[in-house]
Structure 1
Amino acid sequence: MSFLKKPFKKLEKIKDRHNHNSASDGPSTIKEDGASGTASPQSGIASSSPQSGIASANGQDSSIPTRQSQDMMRDEKKRRSIDKERVKVESMKRNQLARIESANFLRTGPEDLTKLYKPYSMNMSRTREYDHRILFKDIDFAKMDGQVITFRARIHTLRRMSAKMVFIVFRQQTITIQGLLQSFQKPQAEGATEAPGPDGTISDRMVKSVERYPSETIVVVSALVRKIPQGMKPVQNATIHNHELDIYEIHKVSTLSENVPFTVYDAENINRDNEDAEVEGEDSDSQDTPEETPRTSAEWQKHLKSVDNSRTSLDTRKPRSLPQRVRLNNRIVDLRTGPAQCIFRIQSGICNLFRGYLDERGFIEIHTPKLQGGATESGASVFEVNYFGRPGFLAQSPQLAKQMAIMSDFEKVYEVGPVFRAEDSNTPRHLTEYTGLDLEMALESHYHEALDLIDGMFKHLWAGIYQRFQKEIDLISHFYPHEKVEWLEETPRIPFKEGVQMLMDDGWKDDDGNAASPLEDLATAAERRLGQLVKEKYHTDYYILDKFPASARPFYTMPDPLDDRYTNSFDIFMRGQEILSGGQRIHDSRFLEKRIKAAGINPDSMPEYLEGFRWGAPPHAGCGIGLERLTFLFLNLGNIRLASMFPRDPKSLPAKAVINALRHPEASTTNPPWENSDYLASQDEEEGMVDRRLQFQPLEKLIANYGDAANTSWLDKRYQVWRHDATGAAQGYIVHSNFIISVGPPLCAKSQYNHVISAYLTYLKEHHSNLKPIWMIVNKEVEEYLGEKFQWRTLACIAEERADPRNNQAIKDKDLERKVRHADKEGIKNAEIVSPIPDDIKTKIDARVADWQHGRKGQQVHLTQIRPWVDEAHRKYYYASDSVGNIHAICVLHQLSPQNGYQIKFSLEFPNAPSGSIEALILYSMRQIAISDTETSQVTFGTGAMPTLEGGRNLGKQKVKMLKKAYDTINKQFKLTNKSGFREKMGVWNEPAFVAYPQGGLGAGGIRAIMGFLEEDG
């Protein structure tokens, strides 16, 4: 029942506070919104209403109206939030100063206090030195007890125990060991008269500096190996359980310029139960180490016992859920995990065993070209490439080249190489590029000669893998549980017709109610069911299906001499799925050409291939094996992508956005202004960072380079803007209630989105962890990254409403044409205000804007305030006036990125304006912008509400249903789609924009926060 400990502790604290308040000496006076009253001794709440009928001991009513109570609670909550934010900012400043002070101390401090943890300079191979560094896999820790070792490793995870001590787990590939860094003079090997290694002191500064190292930092460490004292718990969160390290020297080798999206520790501890650890480690930070702490002292042993529970778990955080998509999208980090390391060791072993078995039997390894002039098997699933102006194709298999090698009298050949399949199959068992294990051999009399060899090779593989890689298999099984592959001494060889009959006898049918056909290939579901039936009957996971139908085989497969509806070909299955296809090939040239034409392939596209047959070819057979499929089925990984180092499927290689020339090259984020600065090169790192911030690109220029409509709202005073130190990229946000609302995509090149968004989310986590993040009005690239990388939920209820000013269909709208005619009859003239804008024009327009604001009715929903004269350099101004000079409408266009053109930032029709004034002015503005800026292909009216909410990524049906209901209510209340009807007449098209938030980050409170933010006047 440990999960109840924390809530009970919190209840006890609340009770204690309540009792403390009840014991106060006298009543306190509370004033709220002008009301006053005397606090009840029991509740401490002002009594200012006589209506409840409940009186306190002094005759005063002890209750307050419900509405006032809610206001008081809301104000108190707001006050606490402000106080918490202020404390957080002060803490952040202290930490930042501490980091700067620590960096300065490393540069200028005494040598004996810094030499043990000073970071190494960048390795440029100036010298060649050998520090006798060891690899964990090469040593027996039991024999190294009391010895000092030096090694390089990554920080797997670390945990601060006190100001003087930190636990660190180090990782070398799949091996992890726990180390302990504690401020004292230096550890001594047992029996030694003096401390080992160089002179120096492990200071509190050293401990504080090291505890800030992020996970995955690469370090060089010197430490004393020490056995866990008898009677104490072994280390559970490391693969070395009975030994740990006393660290006395640690140097950073490589600095992380960006935090990893998840750590290897996270990935390896999914679904681990941390509840007990959370309670046990709750007060660990308050523990202090003894002042005198030699490792053999009784005080030290006593302190070790007080933190012994930390050996059970070094992480008191809740375990993160890491979906496979997140891990595959961050493949480099995922490949560092123990199971991934083991998967590819086993995969390497498969290739080694494959090669060794065939080498012993006289096979020759060959390497064949992957660029071909024609399709290997059929034209439907090949990748076509431009080969110097001529069509070329990536090889679907080395089939043709293997056969050509047999015709060249190589007799027995094999290849391990890439295979390309242009099949749009987004399944857990298909890839568009994989590694093929192919072999081909000449036959004496029967294709079963090849089948016998292949069967023996697989059994050799199974036995070899279990013999060589049992440790790796055991580690993988903790993450992907599976049973050992079962195979028989004599493998079942089932004719295809008999396999189909087994399915028929079982009554198997597909989703459409169709039974398996003996003359057609088996569907995936049929293969799986047949595998189950074979396992029940023969007690094996591994079997052969022989004599496949001709309809399921390529043109070069030899027909069965007894029934040409079938072929001399076979598939081999494991765990109910195909791992190999093979068979005898046609070696007669005339017969082969006939089959090629029947398959719809032009024989002239493969002259070299056919020449070999015309010049005489021996009978031969062979097979092809998918290495990744073999690996994932053998280990039961569930998804073939986990068996591919960098998997390629139909969703890989997304299209890159077209890069337009920047309006302000000097404000680029890919080549920021300080990048070539000679001055900054001479500055220290921390000083340089301060100077860099002074050189950040102006926000106005970033909007003109990279911005969309939502970004222009950041110019309002109520927005805060975060800047990315490395690139100068920007992101605007507002803190509202308990939420931090980010608006629009980052201002940077789209190629930098991943880097910048990760840094921004890290900033939110470090500086606003008490606030729930919501990200509004993001484009599809940001939405995809947040949804796929971080598993944020996304939805679409708004759209950018864009129009083409060069070819605007709005002029064909009869109702619009009638309104424009009416404005013209009323004497309305449209004109552009040329810069610099006269003060008298500004005064007139400001007065008319005030009239417009005064005449507004109902609640208004908006992203930005009406401030026409902000960033005049990037705005164009148009107004409509009558014959006497009265201004009736204004249209302000704000320059966006070259791709997005302009935003119609403000289009206001003032009170008493003739009908059609604003419509005529907007059309005039669009025509003028098309003339003055010929590169502009679109303008946007900004975001408009969609009629209904649409669910995006990581949202369940019930959640979407609930959000739709809430959105419909808000839409009806605020009439959000009213503007969209007007804009449709202007010829707009919709480009969906998205709202994104982490799981549990929206709900009713989030919707209220968004609406409250949109209703604010700032």
Structure 2
Amino acid sequence: MLKRAVATLTKESSGENGHSKTPSSVSATGETTPNGPPSAKSTIDSHSGGSETPDKKWRLSHIFSGHSLPGTRRSTSRAGSLDEPRPSAVKKAQRIEEKERKAIEQEKVKERIALLRKQSDLRAAQIETPDQRARYGEEYPPEWNKHHDEWANISTICDDAQIGDTVTLRARVHTIRDVSSHLVFIVLRQQISTIQAVLAEESEVITGHMVRWAKRLPLESIVLVRGKLQKPREPITGATTQQAEIKVQQLYLITAPKETLPFNVYDAELVLKKGDDVDSDHGVESDGEGPSHDENHSIERHEGAVISQRVRLTNRIVDLRTPTAQAIFRINAAICNSFRSHLDKNGFLEIHTPKLQGGASESGSSVFMLDYFGRPAFLAQSPQLYKQMCIASDFKRVYEIGPVFRAENSNTARHLTEYTGLDIEMEIVHYYDAIRVIDGMLKSIFTALRDNFKPERELIKRHFPHEDLVYPEDTLILPFAQGVRLLKESGYVEEDGSIPKEDEDLHTRAEIRLGELIKEKYNTDYYILDKFPSSVRPFYAMEDKKDPKVTNSFDIFIRGQEICTGGQRIHDIEELERKMHRLSISPKGMQEYLEGFRLGAPPHAGCGIGLERLVMLYLNLGDIRYGTLFHRDPRSLPLQKNDADELRHPEASTNPPPWKHPRLALKADAESELRDMQPLEKLIANYGDASNTAWLDDRYKVWRHPDTGAAVGYSPFKGYAMIIGDPLCDKTQLTQVVSAFLQFIKKDAKLKPIWMMVCEEVEEILGGRLNWCSLSCAAEERVEDPAKNPARHDPEIQKKVRHARKEGVKIQDYSLTEDVPEDVIRETNERIEDWRNNRKGEQVHMTDVHPWRDMSHRVYYIARDSTNKVCAMVVLHQLSPQHGWQIKWALDFPGAPNGTIEHVILHALENNAGSKMTFGASATSKLVAKHGLSKVTTKWLTKAYNSLAEHNRLTNKGEFRQKLGAVEDRVYICYPRHGLSPAGIQAIIGFFKQ
């Protein structure tokens, strides 16, 4: 394959003709993808070692690689064995093996490609005329800037009258179709509009090198194109502009992505297959074929990779480029414009109220508290109080579009902690005056969306299928009590078996069911529930004069979910104060609000609408985050702590590194002194966790980031890079360091990465940004405060400690500032050798026992029995200030009195009261799938893990540590999708048993 690919590229670079497809296709990013079938000689056995049987290795590989398992029949040949795979599944595993084998060949091909391209560029510079060279490249004619306002918009190219016109436009490269060495199709994109551009070799005008240069343009590059509009032979089905295409005459690269894209917009826009789960274990992989084309060179869509919601939202900038996202936010903007336009025409005044408030919640919801120059303040949950103050100020009718903050820990598809509120307040004569105005405003929005945004709605429907909103001319207004009766009559009950009550609010599930019943009975998706019970409304809601149990308040629903809450407010100060007193609401911080009512306020009413929820429900997006530019929910804003001020060794910082630190530069004796990388031992003490201390072992290599000095430890093992622990760097540098390290592993080390024992921040980069598979079956066993150690009160452990003391066990401490005497080291080494010789069975571990390395960051506790013989040792290793200390080794030597190790560990913990501790990572009782693994996959993976954990007694350590006060803090195993073969599974197990 390698020889054929290189031969083909050589032929192309020399300008030879050829129309046949090459065995390997080269994508726009320069990656070569083999198309040939896997070798029939490649089997699971040929790539695996050890005692695992082929079927078991296949199943573990299939599970870890993010696949659901096909149906199998149970084997009864041996107890506890895993099911045998079908022949088709074995072939699939073989293809994965073959793909991994070819990865090395592909790297060689790419290196050869780069060389050939340089040679081709040099030849082109020698043979092309100045006019030909000026038609492409990275510098366009400067005079074009004078007429940039005449550059075309793709959306306006729509009729035959423009055929033959010359157009200039700037757009992104959406996708590229390499037809032959003389012809390439490029789909250009501007927001939601796309058009096909055709670049063909043309004697004396367009050279073959220009065509090849265009093929290599990275996807999502911004280019400037000039060409002539021509009519395609047939309508182009893969672009929004179907009746015209551009025959390219000039093409210039404005800018290109400097980092590898987590996914490309073209793949993200492919229509999902029916029933696909966007959060399943589908990978973002190309099949190497690209989009299909017929002889009329129209670009067609194909069923491609499914990109999970997490990957989309983590890489929001790329996701927002998709035409679907662009259309969603056009709808979002249109709602705001229609809201504002309708209210302006009806005598409303736009206002902007403060978002910092001195009082807490006016509605009982949780609030975000702030320090306001030493005084407490709160982010406004709504503009409600200030809207009412404006009415008391005779503004008559007001509205606002602004942020709303809710400190509610609700991780659901319909809640945000910050959203945009569309709020109205108005003077009224009767309660229903407000309902008529609000109803009319919403219907004006729906009508505007229906009449003016059909292309956007149709585009969104392809990814979020839904029917157009049904709303009658006369809006259904249903009393709350009647809605509850509808539910009861239908036989609806809550999940706990309870029946909805007329004096309690409806749960979301009940609201959705009521929406279904109303759609069946009244044929409407849009309706109003009126007269809510007083018990579920805020203190300022006006009670119905005829029935004080209900209020003059309402909710408006579309598709069975609430989009708007509103009603009449209490305007009489005495009534308002009585109700506040009855509900135990303090007037503290609300005096300014109450003052408006003391001065006299007219009867008034209003409402609040959640913009993002309205967008979600109108378009049936399924999750409110899709309708939010950059969502804020309880998981947003992860801690990005800069530990520079707390580092144990500030001179070994990575942010900035020593050679960029101005104070250190002044103290340095020579420039070479500053360019030396920070010592690994000091980096561990600055940024490290327990897993990082393993890097001091001989079997680990340590990669260093040239710009920051950050470190990553890995161990090459059977073609894999076994990476253990987080990068040693400031948290703000994680993404940069991870990206650079993976480039090194792929291009220089030529290893397949498996990254283990990483924290949530690193998993978020690997799983969320890079779309790797991730799971957790291990956790750091942390003791937050040894002074509160429950083992001090555990009868069983205390009995052991008392026995050790009775047997005469004494403990000698060696602090950071004390040297361990040579004779103690020698004697302890002899006991360590006894301990090694006494171990039985297979051992599973990350690190060997080398206690005397990096002694400047270690504390030693050595126990001696009544004969003064060393009988146990506990070693603490200093970690980052965030993690404290690791109990690196706790060794109970042969012949030690019962209870010795418990005695020494408790002694070490008590001596470090107030410091955080970790025992290091140990296996957890349950496996948790984090990203890229479906429910079926997780089920089978759990079964395999349970069998492995039981066989190797992996959870024994964790159970013992928990008795000593340890709490689990999960760490993760991450690997590229489809990046783990049977050999990979064997490599992981073999690595830990090595």
Instruction: Determine which of 357, 368, 386 is the counterpart of 1:383.
Output: 368
2:726 pairs, out of 735, 738, 745, with: 745
Cα contact 1:811–1:817 (8 A) shared by 2:
no
- Is 1:463 aligned with 2:426? no
Which is bigger in relative contact order (C-alpha 8 A, separation at least 6)? 2
Change (3 A) 1:522 1:118: same
Residue in structure 1 matched with residue 777 of structure 2 by the alignment: 796
* Alignment deviations for residues 143-190 of structure 1 (CA, whole Å, 9 cap, x no partner): 4444443332222233545566554322211112233456666658xx
| Percentage of identical aligned residues | 45
Picking from 766, 780, 783, the partner of 2:760 is: 780
Secondary structure of the residue that 1:641 maps to in structure 2? helix
Residue in structure 2 matched with residue 337 of structure 1 by the alignment: 322
Indicate the residue corresponding to 2:627 in structure 1.
643
2:525 & 2:849 partners in 1: Cα distance? 72
Give the letter aligned to residue 847 of structure 2.
Answer: T
Counterpart code for 1:374: G
- Aligned equivalent of 2:847, options 838, 861, 864: 864
Q: Which residue of 2 aligns with 1:897?
A: 880
Q: Residue 1012 of structure 1: CA displacement? A: 1.0
2:680 counterpart of 1:709: no
**SS of match in other structure, 1:567:** coil
Match of residue 158 from structure 1: 176
Deviations 1:354-412 (A, max 9, x none): 22222222222122222223346334433333333333233232222222222222222
Partners of 1:513 and 1:920 in 2: CA distance: 53
The amino acid of 1:780's aligned partner reads E
Q: Are 1:862 and 1:1014, in contact at CA under 8 Å, matched by a contact in 2?
A: yes
* Residue 177 (1) aligns with residue 180 (2): no
Matches of 1:390 and 1:628, distance apart in 2: 32
Secondary structure of 2:727's aligned partner: strand
Alignment CA distance shift 1:163-1:894 (3 Å): farther
Which digits, 9 at most, give the CA deviation of each residue in 1:514-540, with x for residues without a partner? Answer: 433333333333333333333233322
Q: Which moved more, 1:774-783 or 1:409-418?
A: 774-783
Secondary structure of the corresponding residue to residue 356 of structure 1? helix
The alpha-carbon deviation at position 657 of structure 1 amounts to 4.5
Change (3 A) 1:375 1:107: farther
Three-state SS of the structure 2 residue aligned to 1:435 is strand
How do 1:180-191 residues align onto structure 2 when only pairs under 5 Å count? 180-181=198-199, 187=205
Note closer, same or farther for the CA distance 1:406–1:422 as it changes in structure 2 (3 Å cut). same
* 1:64-83 alignment runs, 5 A limit: none
Counterpart pick for 1:215 among 219, 239, 252:
219
Which range moves more in the overlay, 874-883 or 726-735? 874-883
Is 2:571 the partner of 1:591? no
How far did 1:246 drift? 4.1
Moved more, 889-898 or 545-554: 889-898
Change (3 A) 1:385 1:332: same
Following TM superposition, by how much is the alpha carbon of 1:109 offset from its aligned partner in structure 2, in angstroms? 12
State the match for 2:66 in structure 1.
none
Question: Does 2:304 correspond to 1:319?
Answer: yes
Deviations 1:119-158 (A, max 9, x none): 469x9xxx99958533323444744444443332222233
Question: How far apart in 2 are the matches of 1:104 and 1:902?
Answer: 58
Which protein has the larger Cα radius of gyration, Structure 1 or Structure 2? 1
Cα distance, 1:87–1:624 mapped onto 2, change above 3 Å: closer
Q: Distance in 2 between matches of 1:984 and 1:557?
A: 52
Query: What is the CA–CA distance in structure 1 between the aligned matches of 2:800 and 2:259, rounded to whole Å?
Result: 55
Instruction: Note if 1:482 corresponds to 2:466.
Output: yes
Distance in 1 between residues matched to 2:612 and 2:350, nearest whole Å: 20
Letter paired with 2:756: M
Query: How has the CA–CA distance of structure 1 residues 872 and 249 changed in structure 2, closer, same or farther, with 3 Å as cutoff?
Result: farther
**Cα distance per residue 1:867-904 (max 9 Å; x no partner):** 56655665667877999999877766544323334445
Counterpart residue identity of residue 311, structure 1: I
Partner residue in 2 for 1:168: 186
- Answering whether residue 434 of structure 2 is matched by residue 450 of structure 1, we say yes
Q: Decide whether aligned partners of structure 1 residues 439 and 804 sit closer, same or farther in structure 2, where only a CA change above 3 A counts.
A: closer
Map of 1:290-689 to 2, 5 A cutoff?
311-313=299-301, 319-375=304-360, 377-443=362-428, 445-603=429-587, 605-657=589-641, 659=643, 661-672=646-657
C-alpha change, 1:655 and 1:97, in structure 2 (3 Å) is same
Deviation at 1:757, TM superposition (A): 3.8
Contact 2:96–2:981, Cα closer than 8 Å, also in 1: no
SS of 2:463 mapped into structure 1: coil
Partner residue of 1:271? Answer: 272
Determine if contact 1:632/1:639 at 8 Å carries over to the other structure: yes
Q: Distance in 2 between matches of 1:485 and 1:836?
A: 78
Deviations 1:86-141 (A, max 9, x none): 545544654666788899999999994865555469x9xxx999585333234447
Partner residue, 1:22:
none
3-state SS in 1 of match to 2:549: strand
Structure-1 separation of matches of 2:128 and 2:831: 69
Structure 1 residues 635-644 or 515-524, which shifts more?
A: 515-524
Instruction: Compare 409-418 and 388-397 and name the one that shifted more.
Output: 388-397
Name the amino acid aligned to 1:377. E
TM-score, structure 2 normalization: 0.76
Distance between the aligned counterparts of 1:416 and 1:774, measured in 2? 48
For 2:773, the aligned partner's letter is: W
Partner of residue 228, structure 2? 225
Contact 1:589 / 1:613 at 8 angstroms: preserved in 2? yes
Q: Distance in 2 between matches of 1:132 and 1:846?
A: 81
| CA distance, structure 2, for counterparts of residue 653 and residue 284 of structure 1 | 37
C-alpha RMSD over aligned residues? 5.0
Q: Deviations over 1:197-241 (max 9, x none)?
A: xxxxx563x666655544323x232332343542xx544332223
Q: Is the 8 A contact 1:829 1:882 kept in 2?
A: no
Q: Is the CA contact (8 Å cut-off) linking 1:214 and 1:259 kept in structure 2?
A: no
- 331-340 or 508-517, which deviates more: 508-517
Give, as a single letter, the amino acid of the residue that structure 2 aligns with 1:995.
Answer: I
1:368 and 1:642 mapped to 2: Cα distance? Answer: 27
Contact 2:464-2:620 at 8 Å conserved across structures: yes
Amino acid at match of 2:443: K
Paired residue secondary structure (1:177) = strand
What letter is aligned with 1:267? A
CA distance in 2, matches of 1:987, 1:493: 59
Higher deviation after alignment, 803-812 or 488-497: 803-812
- Give, in whole Å, the separation in 1 of the partners of 2:225 and 2:653: 44
Instruction: Give the equivalent residue in structure 2 for 1:994.
Output: 972
Cα contact 2:809–2:866 (8 A) shared by 1: no
Q: Tell me if structure 1 keeps the 8 A contact 2:878–2:885.
A: yes
Report the residue type matching 2:392 in the other structure. M
Q: What is residue 50 of structure 1 aligned with on the other side?
A: none
Structure 1: runs of 5+ lacking an equivalent? 1-5, 19-31, 33-75, 189-201, 286-303, 678-690
Matched-pair contact (CA < 8 Å) for 1:418–1:436: yes
Q: Is the Cα–Cα contact under 8 Å of residues 368 and 378 in structure 2 kept in the other structure?
A: yes
TM-score, scaled relative to structure 1: 0.74
State the SS of the aligned residue for 1:565: coil
Please tell me the residue identity of whatever aligns with 1:637: L
Alpha-carbon spacing, 1:888–1:251, altered in 2? closer, same or farther (3 Å):
farther
Query: Given the superposition, is the C-alpha separation of residues 641 and 489 from structure 1 closer, same or farther in structure 2, using an over 3 Å criterion?
Result: same
Within 1, Cα distance between the matches of 2:134 and 2:852?
A: 57
Match of 2:88 in 1: none
Q: Give the structure 2 partner of residue 682 of structure 1.
A: none
